[in-house]
Amino acid sequence: MLKFKTTALDRFKSDNMAIAVCEDGEIHAEPAVRELIANATALQEFTPERDRQVVLHNAMQGRVARCLLIGLGPKAKLTVETFRNFAGRAVKEAISARQNGIDLVVPLDPSLGLETAAVVSALMEGALLANHKDTRYKEKPKNNLLKQVGLCLPAGTAKRCRPLIARTEAICDGVRQAREWVNTPPNEKVPEQLAQAYAQMAAAAGLKVNLLHEPQLKRQKFNALLAVGAGSSHPPCLVEMIHAPAKPKKSIVLVGKGVTFDTGGLNLKPSTGLDTMKADMAGSAAVAGAMAAVARLKPDLRIIGITPIVENMPSGSATRPGDIVTSYAGKTVEIGNTDAEGRLILIDAMAYAVKKYKPDVLIDLATLTGACVVALGDKIAGVFSRDDALAHAIVAAGERTAERCWRMPMPEDYRELLKSELADINNNASSRYGGAIAAAIFLSEFIGDQRWAHIDIAGPAFLKKGPDYGAPGATGFGVRLLCDLIDHL
């Protein structure tokens, strides 16, 4: 799919090429490209403001049949993310122009001030992620995606960046898988089906898989997870995906919330917003997608993905507000609100992970609270951890991948929001303020002194309009973040 093309641009031939153009300065070093840009910006119809574009035909003395120029705006504002978006836009334009492929010119002028490897990775990511359309549910799917994406760069740079191709392909495949799982309609991903999908992926990728079905969950007392599943005719289950090299330097457990549909249970949700609740398993999809990438990248770490999977439904057998259950960790929980179900399935999965694996780091991803979306908007995830270094590492990974994360506080005195008269704790906070924080504190009560961080992805998991390298709906948020983080822990 991805190819490096090292022929100098004053000789290079292409059917379809794209060049990024800055408003107020050069980012390309090659004279052939600079000349083409000078000619294009002399045209009335093109100015290199952000998101403006023009297509030139028979450019570069006829060697380039079709050349798309996209404006990036002022040079001082360029970031690595600008190049993900540029590549995404270019690929989408090429698809709608019925092209077979595209060659992206890598900007390499030293004055650009961005790391070359980061720019090359970003161009590849933007291109691969934009070259994806979910046509599984069309009667007559038409596959007009690009067959080939080239990156034009000098041989020396190509040599240094060569390993990035396989890495980026592995990660972007993980993102695309995660998106497809999240976009899958809820009638086709009831817990057993979603668990099978993850297990099949993991087995095919060469990971060890362990699937716990309802009888095992009952025997092992995953009572909080079982309580959430009680109203559904599709029983809950839990998948473990394990990457275990011979002598791992560290061990990491990733836990992802897998609610295949969240009606709220007996605390039924209002109809607005219900339609997106098929995406309430996005945390689990991010974990499974990251595990798919891990299986190919083979880091020298023991990495275990755990996904508790459940459907939250109201019915005669559903858990009632006021029910009390004994969680896997042993603490009792009064279920004050059946719509605060994510935290219930996570505490059992995490307590199980802590007991079984005692990892160096535990991270959970979950579409956990609407309150987090109120706090940070729908493009930024909330990070909760009492471990400063871990929180900083996650925020830094968010900056590199543009899967943005913002650290939130976990003040000890907010614990009192979760008091229960009868049980050890209530899953429903007594105040509607600070809901994302209360949820994180609730989770923290079940993992002892385990080094841990929680990432609330309720906002960025599912968007009406994604970035230029995404489609509306599932974003696959978390896969790139986790893969980057794993490399920096």
Q: Figure out which of the listed residues 93, 103, 173, 280 binds ligand BES, where binding follows CB under 6 A.
A: 280
Q: Figure out which of the listed residues 150, 434, 435, 460 binds ligand BES, where binding follows CB under 6 A.
A: 435
**Contact call for residue 280 and Zn ion (CB under 5 A):** yes
| 343 has catalytic annotation | yes
The Cα–Cα gap between 262 and 281 comes to: 9
Q: Figure out which of the listed residues 339, 348, 403, 424 binds Zn ion, where binding follows CB under 5 A.
A: 339
Is the Cβ of residue 14 or residue 338 nearer to ligand BES in the bound state?
A: 338
Is the Cβ of residue 56 or residue 371 nearer to ligand BES in the bound state?
A: 371
**Contact call for residue 341 and ligand BES (CB under 6 A):** yes
Q: Figure out which of the listed residues 371, 405, 410, 418 binds ligand BES, where binding follows CB under 6 A.
A: 371
**Contact call for residue 337 and ligand BES (CB under 6 A):** yes
The Cα–Cα gap between 205 and 221 comes to: 30
Of the candidates 221, 250, 269, 379, the residue annotated as catalytic is: 269
For 313-360, list the strands marked E by DSSP.
Answer: 324-326, 332-334
With contacts defined by CB under 5 A, name the span among 135-143, 236-244, 262-270, 467-475 that binds Zn ion: 262-270
Binding mask 206-245 for ligand BES (x = CB under 6 A): ----------------------------------------
Q: Which residues of 472-489 are buried (b: 16+ CB within 10 A; e: fewer)?
A: ebbbbbbbbbbbbbbeeb
Task: Give the containing element (helix H, strand E) for 152.
Answer: strand 148-152
Residue 251 structure tokens: 């061990």
Q: How far is the CB of 317 from ligand BES (least distance, A)?
A: 20
| 407 has catalytic annotation | no
Q: How far is the CB of 249 from Zn ion (least distance, A)?
A: 35
The Cα–Cα gap between 149 and 146 comes to: 7
The Cα–Cα gap between 13 and 357 comes to: 55
- Amino acid in position 132: H
With contacts defined by CB under 6 A, name the span among 237-245, 289-297, 364-372, 475-483 that binds ligand BES: 364-372
Size of the site for ligand BES (CB under 6 A): 16
Q: How far is the CB of 28 from ligand BES (least distance, A)?
A: 42
Of the candidates 343, 400, 404, 480, the residue annotated as catalytic is: 343
Is the Cβ of residue 303 or residue 368 nearer to ligand BES in the bound state?
A: 368
- Amino acid in position 164: L
Question: Residue 334's beta-bridge partner residues?
Answer: 324, 426
Q: Which residue is nearest to ligand BES (CB)?
A: 370
| 94 Cβ contact list (under 8 Å, min separation 6) | 16, 18, 68, 101, 102, 146
The Cα–Cα gap between 106 and 124 comes to: 10
**Contact call for residue 262 and Zn ion (CB under 5 A):** yes
The Cα–Cα gap between 331 and 487 comes to: 35
Q: Figure out which of the listed residues 240, 339, 348, 484 binds ligand BES, where binding follows CB under 6 A.
A: 339
The Cα–Cα gap between 84 and 69 comes to: 15
Q: How far is the CB of 174 from ligand BES (least distance, A)?
A: 22
Size of the site for Zn ion (CB under 5 A): 6
Among ligand BES, Zn ion, none, the one that 370 touches (CB under a kind-dependent 5 to 8 A) is ligand BES
Binding mask 230-259 for Zn ion (x = CB under 5 A): -----------------------------x
Q: Figure out which of the listed residues 229, 305, 342, 359 binds ligand BES, where binding follows CB under 6 A.
A: 342
Strands 258-262 and 237-243: unpaired
Strands 332-334 and 425-426: parallel
Strands 381-384 and 452-456: antiparallel
- Amino acid in position 436: A
DSSP letter (8 states) at residue 71? E
The Cα–Cα gap between 427 and 335 comes to: 5
Cβ proximity of 338 and 227 under 8 Å: no
Cβ count near 104 (within 10 Å): 26
Q: Figure out which of the listed residues 174, 186, 305, 342 binds Zn ion, where binding follows CB under 5 A.
A: 342
**Residue ranges binding ligand BES (CB under 6 A):** 262, 280, 337, 339-342, 367-371, 373, 428, 435, 458
**Residue ranges binding Zn ion (CB under 5 A):** 259, 262, 280, 339, 341-342
Active site residues: 269, 343
